[in-house]
Chains A and B, each alone.
Chain A
Amino acid sequence: MRHIISILLENEPGALSRVVGLFSQRNYNIESLTVAPTEDHSLSRLTITTIGDDRKIEQITKHLNKLIDVVKLVDLTEGSHVERELMLIKVKASGAQRAEIKRTTDIFRGQIIDVTPTVYSIQLSGTSDKLDSFIAALGNAAVLEVARTGVTGISRGDKVLSL
């Protein structure tokens, strides 16, 4: 099963490599990873999506917790949560396709953020599924480039990941 693990990490040199190293060292899988400083500049928030059965996820969270730089973590998929991924996608848009791509973008509530006579650059956010669906919906329009941020997420309701 897919899990989203959110981590508060000491914002120190080498901290990220310890987390990433742990995954490769123990043969765990990283589907996506995002990381950026938080409102407290001594902390980074890192979100990893990974796949594994309960036993494996338990080991992953235990080993992450053992890392000295990991301050706190939560498996978001254990409770109800909101997850988002941002995608920037560049597609060939000329002739009749221009209108079609515009319509599809609107349906998915994306925005065209850059335009040339032959190319649209589109910004879209949502769950990873939604982004996949958008690419599928583009049909035979030529996709020139895709940049996705990977998943980040937050718990619903009062639950917070903070110190």
Chain B
Amino acid sequence: MELLSGGEMLIRALHDEGVELLFGYPGGAALHIYDAIFNQDKVDHILVRHEQAATHAADGYARATGKPGVVLVTSGPGATNAITGIATAFMDSIPMVVISGQVDSSLIGTDGFQETDMVGVSRPIVKHSFMVQRAEEIPEIVKKAFYIATTGRPGPVVIDIPKDVTDPARKVKYQYPDSVKMRSYSVPSKGHTGQIKKAVEILLAAKRPVIYAGGGVIQGNGSELLTELARMLGYPVTNTLMGLGAYPGTDEQFLGMLGMHGTYEANMAMHFSDVVLGIGVRFDDRVTNAVNKFCPGAKILHVDIDPASISKTVTADVPIVGSVSTVLEEMIDLIKQSDSQVDSKSLELWWQQIEGWREKECLKVEASTDDSIKPQQVVQAVYKATGGNAYVSSDVGQHQMFAAQYYVFDKPRRWINSGGLGTMGFGFPAAVGVQLAYPDAVSVCITGEGSIQMCIQELATCMQYALPIKIVCLNNQALGMVKQWQDMQYGGRHSHSTYSESLPDFVKLMEAYGHVGIRIDKLSELDEKMAEAFAIKDKLVFIDVSVDATEHVYPMAIKGGSMKDMYLSKTERT
């Protein structure tokens, strides 16, 4: 057996685990590990410019590939800077392993320089965490960390390593375990067959069914099975913000996104349904609106891998704990074998009703008469310029909702956004992770001039690694979503949500970094300039688009109402 130091073991273990990329930032407590990185060429390290960006980049990488994202930071501020990104991954169930350096074991608890109790600080936002006590433990802990992060309901795992544990002078025997067994951790796989049978019976007897699919379908690689099931039944499908792409967005049976800014037809269909099949969803408050008014006539069938997600907010009539793909497979088999048929007469009437709702065209954009650009039109232009094939990451706010509504995703893992935590600053570093995972793909970040400034330092990372990301900035010179709420709920008092006098010249800024900046402010030039920007394949291009600042995101759920209660425009409500 080989003798390796703790630092060498860590990097070797990552390689043995199949890790190719590591996002990080060095510092005192991590220096032994960084030296081990220097002395090998199997695991690539990407140097970001802020630890928060390391976590978001690893997160974007994980969302796009399905593989765990890996982060390496130092102790103290390095570790605490990573917290926002860990919380983001935790809320969206993203597999991630974060390795943080820690001060020497002998200094722990003494308020040593750059000491933070990382295991304590991160505890509520990790799936699990480890504090390494001895170098000998490293291989097993790494194996366990990846096993926990990637199985069941995925999530971030922290490994905190005191500096003395990675001491290059102390070498111990290294062997990477093939598998790991933990008596206190079991992964639910197959759903309960009796429950699945029951669900299928109810599903087949439904008169006004809706399939409500979320991020769990993408995480559980169940998109194809979901599509097969939905097409077999001919039932309407809606996706959550996290689930966009789980079902093909251009398909006839797709009603669009549901929830707070979901389509009229998706929310109406949910409200008036008699059976809701929730798959890989958690009945989030941004979907249900007032829980006591949620889908009053519907039987709820709920499939999720996390038992704690079931009947948390909305009580499930048929709860099924299991991996989305095995449950879907079993459902499809049962439907094929079943004697009962879909109630096609009722289903036809149901579709007629849905078509009526669709006629409202809730996402129709009225072009301005003065050549100014509506934010929605920018997303449509991006869709056109990329042929709908891009990986689209977003930050948080109005632009995020416009992107979700107007960029139609036909495939899973293409839409990369912080749905649960709603982290501004997420989109750009996430696009870095995506671009590194797929160097030849188009990685677009749809952002706003507010969000982009929260992790703008990553322009330097893109310069270093020549990442040709396209940043599309919906520039309304304000924190759009905050302003929208202030317009709607605070008498139009724009408390600290505007800063039009103090925006940087983004085009010049791009020049400073050696990137390309393009400004668009006329609707008549939008498509052409957008195409030009996307034609530049070897450079990062920042497309700064001046958009109508008065535009609001609609539809929008009316607080305290049911899913059918929506504002459809500034003047119209249901």
**Chain A interface (Cβ within 8 Å of chain B)?**
10, 13-14, 17-18, 21, 25, 55, 58-59, 62-63, 65-66, 68-71, 163
Contact = CB atoms under 8 A, between A and B. Distances in A.
Contacts of A70: 184
Contacts of B128: 68
Contacts of A58: 311
Given A65-B307, A68-B148, A17 B182 contact: no
Contacts of B119: 14
27 contacts: A13-B131, A14-B129, A14-B131, A17-B120, A17-B123, A18-B123, A25-B124, A59-B308, A59-B312, A62-B307, A62-B308, A63-B308, A65-B307, A65-B308, A66-B306, A66-B307, A66-B308, A68-B127, A68-B128, A68-B148, A68-B182, A68-B184, A69-B184, A70-B184, A71-B183, A71-B184, A163-B183
Contacts of B129: 14
Interface string B296-309: 00000000001110
A21 B123 contact: yes
Contacts of A63: 308
Contacts of A59: 308, 312
Contacts of A62: 307-308
A55 B182 CA distance: 29
Interface in B165-188: 182-185
Contacts of A68: 127-128, 148, 182, 184-185
Interface in B110-137: 119-120, 123-124, 127-129, 131
Given A21-B124, A71-B184, 20 more contacts: A10-B184, A13-B131, A14-B123, A14-B129, A17-B120, A25-B124, A55-B311, A58-B311, A59-B308, A59-B312, A62-B307, A62-B308, A63-B308, A65-B307, A68-B148, A68-B182, A68-B185, A69-B184, A70-B184, A163-B183
Contacts of A163: 183
Nearest to A64: B308
Query: Top 4 nearest A-B pairs by Cβ distance?
Result: A62-B308, A71-B184, A68-B128, A25-B124
Contacts, number: 35
Nearest to A70: B184
Interface residues of B, number: 18
Contacts of B308: 59, 62-63, 65-66
A108 to B, nearest CB: 40
A68 B145 CA distance: 11
Interface string B277-317: 00000000000000000000000000000111001100000
A25 B122 CA distance: 12
A34 B155 CA distance: 30
A13 B308 CA distance: 25
Nearest to A24: B124
Contacts of A55: 311
Nearest to B157: A68
B538 to A, nearest CB: 45
Nearest to B119: A14
B294 to A, nearest CB: 15
Interface centre among A10, A14, A59 (most CB of B within 10 A): A14
A77 B311 CA distance: 21
A125 B53 CA distance: 56
Contacts of B148: 68
Contacts of A13: 131
Interface centre among B124, B148, B308 (most CB of A within 10 A): B308
A161 to B, nearest CB: 14
Contacts of B131: 13-14
Contacts of B120: 17
Nearest to B130: A14
Contacts of A17: 120, 123
Nearest to A65: B307
A5 B141 CA distance: 29
Interface centre among B128, B148, B184 (most CB of A within 10 A): B184
A55 B129 CA distance: 28
A22 B520 CA distance: 49
Nearest to A9: B184
B147 to A, nearest CB: 10
A69 B127 CA distance: 11
